[in-house]
Amino acid sequence: MTIAAHSQAQTQTQDTTLGSVVAGADNSTDLQVGTGNVVQLTCGQMLDKYRPVAGDIRPAETAEEDLFFRCNEMVTTANALANNDGPTGNNLGWSSGQLAEAMQQLTGEEQVSKGSLASETSNGQFANIGMRLDAIRAGARSTAGGVNLAMNGTPVVGGNAGEEGDGLGWGWFLNGAYGFGERDGTQVEDEYDYDSYGATLGFDYMFDSGLVAGVAAGYADYEVDFDNSRSSLAGNSLTSTVSGGGFELDGYSLSAYLIGNLGRFYVDGLVSYGSNDYETERVVRYQGAADGSGRGQNLDIDRTMSGKTDSDTLGLGLSTGTTFELGGFDLGVDLGLSYLDITVDGYTEKDSAVNGGLNLAYGDQDIESLVSTLGAQLTRSFSTSSGVLVPYARADWHHEFKNDARMVDARYASQEVGQSFNLNVGSDDPDTDYFSVGLGVAAVFANNIQAFVDYRTTLGLEDVSANLFTIGVRGSF
């Protein structure tokens, strides 16, 4: 992927000394080269205003002046490395590799992960309601878990579970979930790990016709930590590619669902609206070398850029399936299609330093996802003296149809003079095909109370691992 500098609506292909020096570093990326070009182009817009103080060794008096000081140090370092005629008085004393690593800290590549996590929260709500729909498909609405509590087509009863009624009337379910995972770093996106917590509470009603209609409310909390990636340069303690940071997400959703039968096949539908709130931190941390010059000598930058934004998600889902009898087992097969339309609002960061100017202003993110799912679930029921236990195993194949990389515009918010230049920060292409597998067990007890525990993991994603534990209870009234 090539990242170009943009001036308003017109694409600029101008190469700069800073971009060229970064491009000459071993293992430099398009992201770093593009950022180098934008940093120098931005600096050039402010040069006439700040030329009289370009060599001053003092704290910046405004955020824009701080932005100029920081970019001026990068540009003069590149001039020294390139042996050209430009100014070199504030040289940081770095190599081209150190400049490349610093460029990655001056862009906002962390931003694209917010769109990914917005999709995750919606998919988590889909999964929780999907477990409820699986329970309803048992006919007797006998469990809140992702299982069909029926043996050879007959609803299971036994032990002290109590006799099941006809399932008509009101039911409720409550699911809680804990997830964790990580993403490997690439040339485009940073490495991070996350922990998530969530809950879904729902109510539904079964009519005489067998149609079930319900509503559910969900909450999700994600905590994402970007790794502090040490420099890849031997013996280097002055720069790194990522200096930590992260963000927290609080998500809320409201969903409605229907499920009914067409012969031996069921058909269900789901519509969901979700809203996520984000609190973000981006860290910029580097030092000038002792043999630098001017402001660049022994410079110590340690900044945290904080911000707040939110996102809105519309989700739609449709699926169908049936169950086959296999001796003492039941095999359920299903086919589904889900669609997500997500908008992450743009926002402007706040630099932690007094008169700090490294904050970025981001544009909106618009994300669409259309995923088909082909799944199978194998269950078997065991009657005990205290109830019925139903272990199960499930596997799903997912195919993403809208597998396009997305771009996020970002610019240095502190620049007030001249034209502004955008950093077009891009994501990796989403994986087209991936799989999820899971194991669990459900239990039916007396008084129409049921419970389950479920574990699922995702396989086949190139750079992502994800794990999810879910527990749930269900009842009727």
pLDDT in tens, 360-387: 999 898 888 899 999 999 999 888 777 7
Average the pLDDT over 171-181 and give the result.
92
pLDDT at 187: 67
Beta 433-444 vs 421-426: how paired, if at all? unpaired
- The H or E element spanning position 49 is helix 30-50
120-143 b/e with 16+ CB inside 10 Å = b?
bbbbbbbbbbbbbbbbbbbbbbbb
Q: Is the pLDDT of residue 405 over 80?
A: no
Hey, which residues does 344 pair with through a beta bridge?
A: 311, 365
Determine the length of the chain. 477
pLDDT at 159: 31
Give me the CATH topology for the region 115-156+164-476: Lipocalin (2.40.128)
pLDDT at 138: 58
Q: Identify the three-state secondary structure at position 233.
A: coil
- Which tens digit of pLDDT belongs to each residue from 78-106? 999 998 877 788 999 999 999 999 998 89
CB 188, CB 109: distance < 8 Å: yes
Average the pLDDT over 297-320 and give the result.
94
Q: Is the pLDDT of residue 19 over 90?
A: yes
CB 361, CB 350: distance < 8 Å: no
- Which tens digit of pLDDT belongs to each residue from 304-315? 999 999 999 999
Average the pLDDT over 276-304 and give the result.
95
Average the pLDDT over 445-449 and give the result.
75
For residue 75, give Cα distances in angstroms to 12, 40, 64, 87: 19, 6, 16, 8
Hey, which residues does 379 pair with through a beta bridge?
A: 330, 392
pLDDT at 121: 67
Average the pLDDT over 280-286 and give the result.
93
| Residues of the chain above pLDDT 70, percent | 88
pLDDT at 244: 84
Residues in CB range of 418: below 8 A, 6 or more apart: 44, 45, 46
Closest-CA residue to 36 (of 108, 112, 106):
106
Residues in CB range of 8: below 8 A, 6 or more apart: 419, 420
Residues in CB range of 265: below 8 A, 6 or more apart: 320, 321, 322
Could you state, in order of their start, the residue ranges of all structural domains in the chain? 17-106, 115-156+164-476
- CA dist., res. 357 & res. 364, Å (int): 21
- CA dist., res. 88 & res. 444, Å (int): 76
CB 372, CB 403: distance < 8 Å: no
pLDDT at 226: 86
Q: Identify the three-state secondary structure at position 186.
A: coil
Q: Identify the three-state secondary structure at position 115.
A: helix
- CA dist., res. 183 & res. 463, Å (int): 6
Q: Identify the three-state secondary structure at position 102.
A: helix
* Mean pLDDT estimate for the chain: 85
163 or 388, higher pLDDT: 388
Lowest mean pLDDT among 203-212, 388-397, 399-408, 432-441: 399-408
- CA dist., res. 68 & res. 41, Å (int): 11
Q: Which two tokens stand for residue 213?
A: 């209609």
**The model scores a pTM over 0.85:** no
Residue carrying the six token digits 């110590």: 300
Closest-CA residue to 414 (of 345, 347, 350):
350
pLDDT band, residue 167 (cuts 50/70/90): low
Q: Is the pLDDT of residue 8 over 60?
A: no
pLDDT band, residue 404 (cuts 50/70/90): confident
Q: 3-state SS of 29-42? A: CHHHHHHHHHHHHH
pLDDT at 403: 67
**Which amino acid makes up residue 112?**
V
- Which tens digit of pLDDT belongs to each residue from 231-248? 889 889 999 988 888 889
CB 227, CB 190: distance < 8 Å: yes
Average the pLDDT over 310-327 and give the result.
92
- Which tens digit of pLDDT belongs to each residue from 40-50? 999 999 999 99
- CA dist., res. 15 & res. 38, Å (int): 9
Q: Identify the three-state secondary structure at position 131.
A: helix
For the chain, the 3-state helix, strand and coil shares in percent, each to the nearest 5, are 20, 45, 35
Q: Which two tokens stand for residue 274?
A: 């979700």
How many angstroms separate the first and last alpha carbons of the chain?
Answer: 57
pLDDT at 376: 95
- CA dist., res. 189 & res. 111, Å (int): 9
- Which tens digit of pLDDT belongs to each residue from 105-150? 898 877 777 776 677 766 777 787 888 887 777 543 333 333 333 3
Beta 154-155 vs 150-151: how paired, if at all? antiparallel
Residue carrying the six token digits 């878990």: 145
- CA dist., res. 12 & res. 424, Å (int): 12
Rg over CA atoms, the chain: 28
CB 23, CB 37: distance < 8 Å: no
Q: Is the pLDDT of residue 164 over 80?
A: no
Q: Identify the three-state secondary structure at position 263.
A: coil
The angle, 0 to 180 degrees and rounded to 10, between the axes of the packed helices 63-82 and 96-105 is 150
